[in-house]
Amino acid sequence: MKRKILVTGADGFIGSHLTEMLVKQGYDVRAFALYNSFNTWGWLDYCDPAVKGKFEVFMGDVRDPYGVKTAMKDCDTVLHLAALIAIPYSYHSPDTYVDTNIKGTLNIVQAAKELGVRKVVHTSTSEVYGTARFVPITEDHPLQGQSPYSASKIGADQIALSFYTSFNTPVAVLRPFNTYGPRQSARAVIPTIISQIATGKETIKLGALTPTRDFSFVEDTANGFIKAMECDTINGTVTNVGSGFEISVLHTAELIAELMGKKINFELDSDRLRPEKSEVERLFASYDKAKKLMNWEPAYGGLEGFKKGLQKTIDWFTIPENLARYKTDTYNI
C-alpha cells in the first residue's frame, strides 16, 4: 500500500474520478466529503464497483478548521479540490465563495503547516486568467478576476502560495483548464448540451456561443493531480494542465450533435449569458511546463482526443439511470 492521501471535494465531479484513480493505483485514500443530513457521499455513491469499500470517507466542511485538521491527521499528502465553482451562483452569493474557496484553502494549508504534511496540491482554475491576452496561455499570464468565483480562486491560490514562501509549506498549485466528462454538473456547457439532446430536445438553449475553451477530459485532469503530487520541483509554483486545443462553444455543440446523430437548432438563452465584462472570451492552454517537469501530457489532446472524450461522456450520460439524476428542464446556475 502506498502512502495515505486526503482528497477534499472527493464527492464532486473531478474528485470522485481522482479518488477512483488513486485507489486503483494502490494509494490509501481518505475521501473528504461535504457533511449533509442525507448521509450522501455525492458521486462516490456511484463510483466504480471495483473501488467500493476500498477508501475511507470523512464527512466534514472545509470551512471548519477543526474538522479539516482532524481529517488531515496521519495523511502524507493532501489533494485539495473542495470549492464552490459555479460562476452564475457567484454573482448572487459571493460571500459563500470567499468562505469556501479562500478560507477553506487557508484551513488546509494552516493544518498542513501544523501537521508537517509532506505535500499539498491546491486546485486552481483557468478562469483566473480571464479572457486571454495571449495564447497559448502560460503560467505567467496576468490574472484577471472577471467573476466573484475567479476572484475567490485567485485569492485561494495566493493564500496557498504564500504558505510556501512564508513557511516553506510544500504546496503546489495545479491549474486545470475546462474539465469535462462523466458526472459533471449540468451547469457546465457540455453536460447541458448532451442531456438536452438525450431527452429528445431538438432546440438547445445555450449561453454565449462564440467564446473558445480548452476542454480537458477528466481522466487527464485526475492524472495531472497524481503527477503533481509526485513532483516536488513544482512546489511553490503554478502549473497548467490542459488539452492544448481550443474550440468554440458553438462548434462544441455542433460536434456533440454530430456524435449523437441528431440535427439540432441552437438558441441563445439570455438567462444563461454572463454580464458582458464578466464573460471570458478565450481560453487556450500551454502545458509545456507540466510536460517538462511532471512528465504529463493529455491522452485526449487535439480534436481527435476531444471527440474520444466527448464520446465517453455521451455514452455515460445516455445511460438512463445516469440521465435520470439530472433535471434537464431546469437551468442550473
Listed by start position, the domains of the chain span 4-181+215-241
Distance CA 109, CA 160 (A): 6
String of b and e for 242-258 (b: at least 16 CB within 10 Å)?
bbbbbbebeebbebbbe
- Which of 109, 105, 115 shows the shortest CA–CA distance to 82? 105
How confident is the model at residue 131, as a pLDDT? 97
Question: Cell numbers of 170, please?
Answer: 510544500
Alpha-carbon distances, residue 323 vs 78, 294, 330 (angstroms): 32, 36, 13
Contact 148, 140 (CB under 8 A): no
Q: Helix, strand or coil for residue 67?
A: helix
Residue labelled with grid coordinates 481529517: 71
Alpha-carbon distances, residue 240 vs 46, 123, 177, 328 (angstroms): 29, 10, 7, 32
Distance CA 110, CA 107 (A): 5
Contact 177, 241 (CB under 8 A): yes
Give the amino acid at 297. Answer: E
Q: Helix, strand or coil for residue 329?
A: coil
pTM above 0.95, yes or no: yes
Contact 143, 154 (CB under 8 A): yes
pLDDT (tens digit per residue) in 241-294: 999 999 999 999 999 999 999 999 988 888 888 888 999 999 999 999 999 999
Domain 4-181+215-241 is classified in which CATH homologous superfamily?
NAD(P)-binding Rossmann-like Domain (3.40.50.720)
DSSP 8-class letter at 147 = S
CA 137-140-144 angle, to 5 degrees, is: 75
How confident is the model at residue 23, as a pLDDT? 98
Predicted confidence pLDDT, tens digits, the chain (333 residues): 589 999 999 999 999 999 999 999 999 999 999 999 999 999 999 999 999 999 999 999 999 999 999 999 999 999 999 999 999 999 999 999 999 999 999 999 999 999 999 999 999 999 999 999 999 999 999 999 999 999 999 999 999 999 999 999 999 999 999 999 999 998 899 999 999 999 999 998 888 999 999 999 999 999 999 999 999 999 999 999 999 999 999 999 999 999 999 999 988 888 888 888 999 999 999 999 999 999 999 999 999 999 999 999 999 999 999 999 998 877 777
Contact 29, 100 (CB under 8 A): no
Q: How far is CA 225 from the centre of its chain?
A: 11
Query: Which residues have CB under 8 Å from 136's CB, separation 6+?
Result: 244, 284, 285, 286
How confident is the model at residue 1, as a pLDDT? 58
How confident is the model at residue 205, as a pLDDT? 85
String of b and e for 219-233 (b: at least 16 CB within 10 Å)?
bbbbbbbbbbbebee
How confident is the model at residue 274, as a pLDDT? 86
Contact 50, 123 (CB under 8 A): no
Contact 209, 249 (CB under 8 A): yes
How confident is the model at residue 71, as a pLDDT? 98
Centre a 10 Å sphere on the Cβ of residue 293 and count the other Cβ atoms it contains: 16
Residue labelled with grid coordinates 485526449: 300
pLDDT (tens digit per residue) in 63-82: 999 999 999 999 999 999 99
